[in-house]
Amino acid sequence: MHIVNGISTKTISADDRGLMYGDGFFSTLKVRHNQVEHWALHVDRIQFSAEKLQFPVVDISKIEEELETLIGAQSSTNGVIRLTITRGSGQRGYKPSNLSSPSTILSWSETSEALLADLSHGVELAVCSVNESSNPALAGVKHLNRLPQVLASSKIPDDCFDGIMLADQHIIGGSKTNIYFYREGGWQTPSVTRAGVDGTVRRWLLAAQKNVKEASLGLEILHDAQYCMVSNALYGMIPVTKILQHRYDISPEIANFQQQYRDSALTE
């Protein structure tokens, strides 16, 4: 099921700037027991993204009403929603109009708790040959321009959960995840001031866990790290057991992080 600007439809205007120019951003929402997990974190990132892309003010209450409609129409109480926000329809040309009104697109997918259980045993990562571009103006935003991730994903081996992407020789994260390495008594995650996505799980970890910090990381961390994990909103935190020839044990801290994240998901 899809909801576009409050209407149940799969149709979007041909002049929508999200379609024409990738002028928009999106967020992946996990739904459990008919509630969006960590909705407050998603709201913070929606507002951050809208401000950074110089969008008109996004009506959060309207989005909440549309989410309630979409969730209520499902037979399952658990699932995944992609929330896409574009600048809306506009005339031809890159320059946005001051009169544009943002469009919201919601789509529902089923989720698999069995897959989550399998991932808890650890995953393997590749290192992508396709790099991300540094652009501080877009850094942190999960914008609609995902071509580097599309090309990178096409080359990730089937036995790898994700691939590490770099920008200017620095690790920025995976093609669909944020990444963390444990070294010298603490967890380090790449800074996203030049490129990359400031994911909601990443935001939670940096705010809730004192031993998770930002750092500038090159590929040498693959050798230096004792543990590794990745994260996204769908699966939370996932241990990484192998990257190229480097192997890692599973840190017992990851299960603790995951439990705390899950316990707080519906209490915000």
Is the Cα torsion angle 206, 176, 243, 171 positive or negative in sign? negative
Residue 101's domain comprises 2-111
Residue 268 domain-assigned? no
* 59 and 73 both lie in a single domain: yes
Q: Which helix (H) or strand (E) holds 240?
A: strand 236-243
**Domain end call among 111, 131, 150:** 111
Confidence of residue 115 (pLDDT cuts 50, 70, 90): confident
| pTM of the full structure | 0.94
* 84 and 122 both lie in a single domain: no
Confidence of residue 117 (pLDDT cuts 50, 70, 90): confident
**268 pLDDT more than 70:** no
**57 pLDDT more than 90:** no
- CATH code (residue 61): 3.30.470.10
**246 pLDDT more than 80:** yes
Q: What percent of the chain has pLDDT over 70?
A: 100
pLDDT of residue 113: 72
> Tokens representing 197?
């996505």
Confidence of residue 62 (pLDDT cuts 50, 70, 90): very high
Nearest C-alpha neighbor of 205 from the set 183, 190, 220: 190
Q: Which tens digits make up the pLDDT trace of 18-40?
A: 999 999 999 999 999 999 999 99
**Rounded mean pLDDT of 195-206?**
96
**Rounded mean pLDDT of 118-135?**
93
* 166 and 186 both lie in a single domain: yes
Nearest C-alpha neighbor of 175 from the set 105, 127, 214, 107: 127
